[in-house]
Amino acid sequence: MILRYYVALLADDLAVMRAITQLTSLQSLRLFHDGSSNTLLTSIDAIAMHATDLTRLSALTGLTQLRLALGHCTYGDPSLPNDDMLRNAAQAAADAQRLREAYGQQQAALSSALRRMPNLSTLVLAGLPLCTETLTALTSLTHVVASRLALPTDQPTAATAPSLMYLPPRLESLWFPQPQKLSVLSRLALPPELHVLFGEYQVTRAGTCVEFMFGREDMDPAEWRLLPAAVDRLKATVPRLAAHRSCQPSGSGALRLCAEAGPGTQLLLPPQPGAAGGGAAAGGSAMGHAVWIRELGPVRRPVVALRGLELVGSDLECLAAMLPEMKVGYGLTSTLHVCRRSYGLLLS
């Protein structure tokens, strides 16, 4: 039995979910919820309420296809509140804690429900985070679309090297419509035969795309500065991504790299000069963001988008040298507009 149900009103959620979960012979379910009309404070409560809704999906053990898009679940990282939400809520400590707890309940409920679907082959999650441990446990999956992957909360300590996470053995395609955190991509072991897509549908049709983002775990929160450990992760991850068959050929498509938004309009600063991971003190000559831009050579894309980064002229020079195929650059900071004629770039 295939059911496609569209939910528009929060008041209907409980009745709809109870009715759906009575249909235990369901094989395919598409469930959408538009939460755009709700206020901030209502949305914090709604996130926790959706954890209960997601728990009810555990009854649908026969599902082979599941597509979920819940509007209340799109507000950011499950471990850290979204800055805009906290500013709108006067950055109250109580609201911050409520938000963390709600995200934690939501992710735990989704993981628990998915693990009770042993025959699930297609999973599409819009707005909801998918824990990497849950992904690797769903061994029947063949097609996955995930807006955001989230690492488990029990992360390795600084003294413990993080191990690679192996994806379901039958997985054929993995599509990331939004940039994934570097800390997540650095942990994924991508089988050679897996078809990986990065970017929105319009981008993926135009050519192969490679994209990722620096997350808060990659930054020093006191200065909003990139940490040397993030540079090391990038050095290890970019060659693996660039060499994967899904990112070939290298002469087409786009490279998109961004940073999580800082307080206000704060842009991500480069690592401290001489810090471990690169720079002059590490035996190289690169300073600023060039310390990691020089690692982008294997990607080789004609369209480059860098957002949320505090760049200087030397960074652009390094970018032009490492990516000679680059014809268009988007999102480069205004400090680089003076270089527009020299490098023939379209800056926005």
One digit per residue, the tens of pLDDT, for the chain of length 348 reads 555 544 433 345 567 777 888 888 889 988 776 554 443 334 666 666 677 778 888 999 999 999 987 654 444 444 444 555 445 545 556 777 777 787 788 888 899 999 999 999 999 998 778 899 999 999 999 999 998 888 876 555 444 456 788 899 999 999 988 889 999 999 988 888 888 888 764 444 445 788 899 999 999 988 999 999 999 999 999 988 888 888 877 667 788 889 987 777 788 999 988 765 555 444 444 579 999 999 998 888 888 888 889 888 888 889 888 888 777 776 654 333 333 333 333 333
Contacts of residue 331, defined as CB under 8 A and 6 or more positions apart, other chains included, come to 258, 305, 306, 307, 348
Domain parsing of the chain, residue ranges: 1-171, 202-348
The single-letter code of the amino acid at 119 is N
Q: What span, in angstroms and rounded, lies between the C-alpha atoms of 163 and 35?
A: 37
Q: What span, in angstroms and rounded, lies between the C-alpha atoms of 197 and 199?
A: 7
The single-letter code of the amino acid at 215 is G
Q: What is the pTM of this model?
A: 0.79
Cα-based torsion angle of the residue sequence 215, 183, 130, 210 in order, rounded to the nearest 10 degrees: 90
